A = this chain, B = another copy of it.
Amino acid sequence: MPRPSRWNEIIEAAAEAFRTNGFAATSLEDIASAVGMWKGSLYHYINSKEDLLFAVVRGPAEEILNQLRELSDTDLPPTEKIRRATRSHVQILNSNFVYASVYLQEIAGRRKLPEWTAMDREYLNLLESIVREGVDSGEFSAVTNPRVATLALIGSLNWLTHWYRPGGSLHADEIADQFCDLFLGGLITRKTKAPRSQTITPIKTTKPRARRTA
């Protein structure tokens, strides 16, 4: 059987190394030795080390944005849009876990390259538009600031790279469903609405301080 092209091996080795040690702390020799060649030979495939980073990251970044673009162009109710956007986000993080992790750790926020910040902004704006639809239609009455609510959802989703691992005991679908229930239903799902913010009263410690050692 024809083994995958050498280029794919290089990208996968680079992605794994970038995710584990970070881009700056990864040397080209790390990547070269992982695929069994000399670091100078990598330059038959790339022009610079940063080329590797962009090649690793481009695919999932475009895919996750395109999926939200298509979803935004439907006329589904906002609740269903949020549900599908959440599922889509989790699914892409699951099936392209290493690449997506590198994107979130090395691109999002860190580098100010205009191409990527534009994608980040568009993704945020599309999702915020969905939230605003729900606010305007009266469905999302708990939202006082749509942008903050959107960023809260994105934060939960992107933080997955810090604890989720494909193939682990928690399946991506369960996580997506739990996220949806949480954000659409909230922790509290009762007839009576959750009590709103109240003024902070001083904490009175009732149990003795039990120090934990682990």
Contacts and interface: CB of A to CB of B under 8 A. Distances in A.
Contacts of A33: none
B70 A205 contact: yes
Interface string A181-199: 1111111111101111110
Interface stretch (A5-13, A48-56, A72-80): A72-80
Given A145-B174, A158-B159, A196-B181, A110 B186 contact: no
Contacts of A110: 22
B186 A184 contact: yes
B149 A159 contact: no
B178 A189 contact: no
Contacts of A79: 187-188, 194-195
A179 B152 contact: yes
A82 B187 contact: yes
A131 B80 CA distance: 26
Interface string A1-31: 0000000000000000000001011000000
Q: How many copies of this chain sit in the oligomeric assembly?
A: 2
A49 to B, nearest CB: 12
B144 A178 contact: yes
Contact of A159 (B154, B174, B204, B210): B154
B143 A182 contact: yes
A206 interface: yes
19 contacts: A73-B205, A74-B206, A82-B187, A83-B198, A108-B162, A134-B188, A139-B187, A140-B188, A141-B189, A142-B181, A142-B185, A142-B186, A145-B178, A148-B170, A149-B187, A158-B162, A181-B194, A182-B186, A183-B187
Interface of A: 22, 24-25, 69-71, 73-76, 79-80, 82-84, 87, 105, 108-110, 118, 121-122, 131, 134, 139-145, 148-149, 151-163, 170, 174-175, 177-191, 193-198, 200, 203-210, 212, 214
